[in-house]
């Protein structure tokens, strides 16, 4: 998710200092932040400011300082497309963070974020600010708050910078009602799954390696998960008085190359030698004891509330697997869906996940249903059946029921039989999931597994 830029670029920063904005930009301001929305969407700009404004009080409490307005508003730049973001990012860092699509800049103390997942104007109009983008705004705003509150921020080790950013982000998203919970929301649940995968493979870095930033061998996205989980564990297991003591000492120290070692010493002294020596084992237990409910790939499934929004990136299919085991050959899945206007109009109901593949029912607005069996060994999509369905239209809630037996699946749409086909090479035993084709978006509700 990050993010931080550590290169000096004082002259270029002037480009992002408070200035007269273009006519099509929205610039709502609050007590702590100003949103510079580089496109005309008042609702998105307001929702972005709402998210950012929630950050500062949470950060002030975490860092044990009085919650007061900063000396100046911190700017959060929001870009409509990845290309718009990359153009602005190049002027600041020369392309260093072009693929991140979100970063915070030290010298200007500004944040720059692209709308994610990138979607059509029609989709954005209906969904409002995607939760994935809310998360990025909360995370980057958390960095800006840290820059303002902690005078030694340039010396912060990554476990502290990213750990506090992840923790504040999760707290804001939870407080705003945009998450079902840390283990239940697909975005954070997937982070847990990634850490548990490292633990299962005996490749989970030790706490010392994370403290020492010695985890370059870990894929960059997983590094954020590891740092975030470590900091979350420290907060969860430390009383408020001790945590405040750590933060006050961390803030009062001078910066420099020795700061990471000093900070680690502050934590060790506060926790005590016995707790510190047991921290590595506790970290493993902490991760192993979590129960993530989703594993997500290339997308943004938002499960807070009664209606779940799912948006796919323009060139990646969104997939979110429910992690509950399913060892039954006979079962049913029921619920409702609505396909939203987008560059494409296809949702996918996923069934029978196993290590060698899964089943998919493609639901296309203005078209029909197509059932596939996917085999990962040869990347083969075997078409099992197709049926046109006249009621599959954009912006319309459709009730569905999928009944699965050992050798067949039947699909009912709005109480009418729509598709019946054989399963293919195996029963559809295994977890179920929800998906959206690249460039598509939709909503799900009342999903039940029977």
Q: What is the pLDDT along the chain (450 residues), one digit of tens a residue?
A: 444 544 433 333 334 444 445 557 899 999 999 999 999 999 999 999 999 999 999 999 999 999 999 999 999 999 999 999 999 999 999 999 888 899 999 999 999 999 999 999 999 999 999 999 999 999 999 999 999 999 999 999 999 999 999 999 999 999 999 999 999 999 999 999 999 999 999 999 999 999 999 999 999 889 999 999 999 999 999 999 999 999 999 999 999 999 999 999 999 999 998 888 899 999 999 999 999 999 999 878 999 999 999 999 999 999 999 999 999 999 999 999 999 999 999 999 999 999 999 999 999 999 999 999 999 999 999 999 999 999 899 999 999 999 999 999 999 999 999 999 999 889 999 999 999 999 999 999 999 999
- Answer whether 302's CB lies under 8 Å from 309's CB: yes
Kindly report the number of other CB atoms within 10 A of residue 371's CB atom: 25
DSSP 52-99: HHTHHHHHHHHTT------SSPEEEEEESSHHHHHHHHHHHHTTTTTT
Coil, strand or helix at 300: strand
DSSP 379-424: TEEEEEEEEE-TT--TT--EEEEEEE-SSEEEEEETTEEEEEEE--
Rounded (5°) CA angle 221-356-450:
90
H or E element that contains 240: helix 240-252
Please give the Cα distance from 140 to 147 (Å, whole number). 11
Place of tokens 């060139």: 315
| pTM beyond 0.75, yes or no | yes
* 31 backbone dihedrals φ, ψ, rounded to 5°: -75, -30
* 164 backbone dihedrals φ, ψ, rounded to 5°: -65, -40
Cis peptide before 313 (omega within 30 of 0): no
Please give the Cα distance from 359 to 366 (Å, whole number). 22
Please give the Cα distance from 439 to 125 (Å, whole number). 15
Kindly report the number of other CB atoms within 10 A of residue 287's CB atom: 20
């Amino acid at each position: 998710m990050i993010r931080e830029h550590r290169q000096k670029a004082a002259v270029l920063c002037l480009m992002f200092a408070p200035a007269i904005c273009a006519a099509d930009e929205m610039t709502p301001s609050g007590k702590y932040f100003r949103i510079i929305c580089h496109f005309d969407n008042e609702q998105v700009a307001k929702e972005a400011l709402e998210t950012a404004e929630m950050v500062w009080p949470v950060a002030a409490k975490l860092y044990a300082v009085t919650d007061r307005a900063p000396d100046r508003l911190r700017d959060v730049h929001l870009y409509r497309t990845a290309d718009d973001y990359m153009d602005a990012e190049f002027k600041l860092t020369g392309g260093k963070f072009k693929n991140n699509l979100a970063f915070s800049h030290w010298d200007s103390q500004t944040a720059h974020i692209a709308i994610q997942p990138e979607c059509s104007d029609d989709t954005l109009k209906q969904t409002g600010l995607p939760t994935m983008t809310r998360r990025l705004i909360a995370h980057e705003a958390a960095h800006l708050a840290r820059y303002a509150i902690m005078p030694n921020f340039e010396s912060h080790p990554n476990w502290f910078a990213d750990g506090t950013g992840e923790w504040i982000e999760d707290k804001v998203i939870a407080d705003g009602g945009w998450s079902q919970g840390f283990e239940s929301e697909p975005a954070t649940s997937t982070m847990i799954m990634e850490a548990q995968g490292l633990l299962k493979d005996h490749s989970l870095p030790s706490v010392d390696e994370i403290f020492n930033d010695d985890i370059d061998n870990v894929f960059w996205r997983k590094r954020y998960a590891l740092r975030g989980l470590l900091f979350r564990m420290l907060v969860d297991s430390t009383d408020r008085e001790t945590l405040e003591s750590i933060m006050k000492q961390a803030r009062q120290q001078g910066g420099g190359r020795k700061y990471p070692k000093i900070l680690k010493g502050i934590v060790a002294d506060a926790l005590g030698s016995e707790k510190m020596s047991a921290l590595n084992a506790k970290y493993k237990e902490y991760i192993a004891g979590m129960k993530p409910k989703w594993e997500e790939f290339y997308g943004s499934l938002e499960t807070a509330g009664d209606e779940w929004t799912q948006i796919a990136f323009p060139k990646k299919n969104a997939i979110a697997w429910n992690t509950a085991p399913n060892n039954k050959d006979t079962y049913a899945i029921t619920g409702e869906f609505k396909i939203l206007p987008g560059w494409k109009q296809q949702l996918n109901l996923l069934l029978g996940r196993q290590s060698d593949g899964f089943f998919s029912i493609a639901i296309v607005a203005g078209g029909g249903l197509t059932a596939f069996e996917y085999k990962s060994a040869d990347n083969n999509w075997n078409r099992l059946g197709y049926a046109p369905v006249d009621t599959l239209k954009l912006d319309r809630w459709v009730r569905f029921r999928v009944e699965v037996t050992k050798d067949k699946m039947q699909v009912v749409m709005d109480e009418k039989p729509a598709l019946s086909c054989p399963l293919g090479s195996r029963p559809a035993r295994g977890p179920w999931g929800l998906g959206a084709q690249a460039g598509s978006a939709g909503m799900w509700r009342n999903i039940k597994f029977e």
